[in-house]
């Protein structure tokens, strides 16, 4: 697995953001590219680690080849001797985890909520401004809109300063209000996609899944608000046993009532956090019961709404739907299994989450020749 946290040594008291430049100082001087005050350039590599220097002082990176972190933006925690790779310059899958607090307790949550919260938005803002040209940055939690004033300010200021960047924000959609119209109006709507989960047309099923009474009603109100604000919405539905039978009803509801959404994503489960705890009661074998998925996708697409399959191994999807199943599992947590050896689809298949169990649960899975 690609490490998202690395060991560092730095002489500082407080956390700070730095971008690594893994070309040596002499080469750096010949390059036309100017070093940013947040850049640190590689000075030397030795058995004890790779030493970088910049305006913020020296920093040593341990246990990773400097060429693998060139251009990476780190949030360094000097006291702990660790750094989080907030932006990996070679990756399309960079996400800022802005909080671990959440007001829902979803049955399959991969990142179970915690009460503790530290506001790192100033660091995220610095990091975003150092992102590679044209990047799309994910924002996730917990529930990011629990700090919506900070979130809105962060999005607005980064988008104003970097016209090439865009964001994908995962939110449970519970906390938008008419009073946010002004703040959201300052965020360029075409450059932010809001990924919002809706699990069922049936309020009881949805509320049961998210562990919050009234969540469905509130969500529908806020989806209407998002429509009035012209926000780009990616509706997300994790497919599970409790909502699989109702998937077609949900598709009908989306097609008739939510035609303004940009995308509908039907998603397979991730076996971690509460998802692992509840796996045996929740996991739906879509390789066996794809019919309802196919009919639902067909209906929504027939109404001109994009519908996709996220996190589905390609061999579990009938051939006619494989083009709708992009490789969505982030590179750092993607893995393949023995069954994948020699598979002709491997290059475009997203495979599995690294932590997917050996007993994978799919009745129909195996290399496609």
Would you give the distance in Å from CA 60 to the centre of its chain? Answer: 29
Instruction: Give the number of other Cβ atoms within 10 Å of residue 256's Cβ.
Output: 10
- Contact segment (CB under 6 A) with ligand SF4 among 120-128, 156-164, 286-294, 309-317 equals 309-317
Minimum distance between the CB of residue 149 and ligand SF4, rounded to whole angstroms? 43
Residue whose CB is less far from ligand SF4, 56 or 351: 351
Minimum distance between the CB of residue 89 and ligand SF4, rounded to whole angstroms? 27
CA of 210: how far to CAs of 1, 141, 245, 286, in Å?
Answer: 30, 15, 17, 21
3-state secondary structure of 299: helix
Q: In what order do the strands lie in the sheet with 263-267?
A: 94-97, 136-140, 166-170, 192-197, 232-238, 263-267, 306-310
Find the binder of ligand SF4 among 56, 78, 144, 313 (CB under 6 A).
313
Minimum distance between the CB of residue 364 and ligand SF4, rounded to whole angstroms? 10
- Contact segment (CB under 6 A) with ligand SF4 among 21-29, 296-304, 311-319, 326-334 equals 311-319
Say what angle helices 291-302 and 247-257 make with each other, to 10 degrees.
10
- Contact segment (CB under 6 A) with ligand SF4 among 74-82, 105-113, 214-222, 312-320 equals 312-320
Residue whose CB is less far from ligand SF4, 64 or 367: 367
For residue 336, state whether it binds ligand SF4 (rule: CB under 6 A): yes
For residue 366, state whether it binds ligand SF4 (rule: CB under 6 A): yes
b/e map 263-300, b = 16+ CB within 10 Å: bbbbbbbbbbbbbeebbeebbbbbbeebebbbebbebb
How far apart CA 137 and CA 168 sit, in angstroms, is 6
Residue whose CB is less far from ligand SF4, 2 or 368: 368
How far apart CA 332 and CA 354 sit, in angstroms, is 9
- Contact segment (CB under 6 A) with ligand SF4 among 87-95, 278-286, 304-312, 336-344 equals 336-344
Find the binder of ligand SF4 among 129, 227, 277, 367 (CB under 6 A).
367
- Contact segment (CB under 6 A) with ligand SF4 among 20-28, 46-54, 71-79, 337-345 equals 337-345
Residue 138 dihedral angles phi and psi, to the nearest 5°: -85, 145
Which residues, numbered 338-357, are part of the site for ligand SF4 (CB under 6 A)?
339-340, 343, 345-346, 349, 351
For residue 325, state whether it binds ligand SF4 (rule: CB under 6 A): no
How far apart CA 190 and CA 230 sit, in angstroms, is 9
Binding residues for ligand SF4 (CB under 6 A)? 313-315, 336, 339-340, 343, 345-346, 349, 351, 365-368
């Amino acid at each position: 697995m690609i490490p998202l946290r690395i060991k560092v040594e730095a002489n500082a008291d407080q956390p700070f953001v730095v971008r690594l430049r893994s070309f040596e100082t002499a080469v750096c001087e010949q390059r036309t590219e100017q070093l940013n005050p947040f850049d640190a350039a590689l000075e030397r590599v030795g058995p004890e680690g790779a030493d970088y220097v910049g305006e913020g002082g020296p920093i040593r990176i341990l246990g990773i080849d400097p060429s693998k972190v060139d251009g990476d933006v780190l949030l360094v925690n000097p006291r702990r001797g660790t750094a989080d790779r907030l932006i990996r310059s070679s990756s399309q899958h960079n996400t800022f985890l802005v909080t671990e607090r959440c007001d829902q307790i979803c049955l399959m949550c991969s990142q179970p909520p915690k009460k503790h919260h530290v506001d790192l938005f100033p660091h995220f803002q610095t990091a975003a401004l150092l992102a590679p040209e044209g990047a799309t940055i994910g924002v996730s939690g917990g529930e990011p809109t629990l700090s919506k004033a900070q979130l809105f300010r962060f999005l607005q200021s980064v988008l104003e300063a970097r016209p090439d960047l865009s964001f994908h924000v995962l939110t449970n959609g519970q906390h938008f209000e008419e009073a946010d119209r002004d703040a959201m109006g300052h965020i360029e709507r075409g450059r932010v996609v809001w990924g919002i989960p809706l699990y069922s047309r049936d309020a009881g099923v949805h509320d049961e899944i998210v562990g919050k009474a009234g969540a469905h009603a509130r969500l529908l109100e806020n989806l209407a608000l998002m429509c009035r604000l012209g926000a780009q919405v990616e509706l997300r539905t994790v497919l599970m046993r409790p909502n699989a039978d109702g998937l077609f009803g949900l598709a009908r509801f989306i097609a008739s009532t939510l035609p303004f959404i940009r995308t509908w994503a039907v998603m397979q489960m991730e076996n971690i956090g509460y998802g692992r705890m509840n796996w045996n009661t929740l996991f739906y074998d879509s390789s066996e019961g794809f019919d309802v998925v196919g009919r639902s996708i067909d209906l929504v697409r027939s109404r001109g709404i994009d519908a996709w399959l996220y996190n589905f191994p390609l061999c579990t999807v009938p051939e006619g739907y494989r083009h709708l199943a992009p490789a969505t599992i982030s590179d750092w947590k993607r893995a393949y299994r023995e069954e994948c050896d020699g598979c002709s689809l491997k290059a475009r298949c997203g495979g599995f989450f690294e932590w997917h169990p050996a007993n994978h649960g799919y009745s129909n899975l195996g290399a496609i020749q």
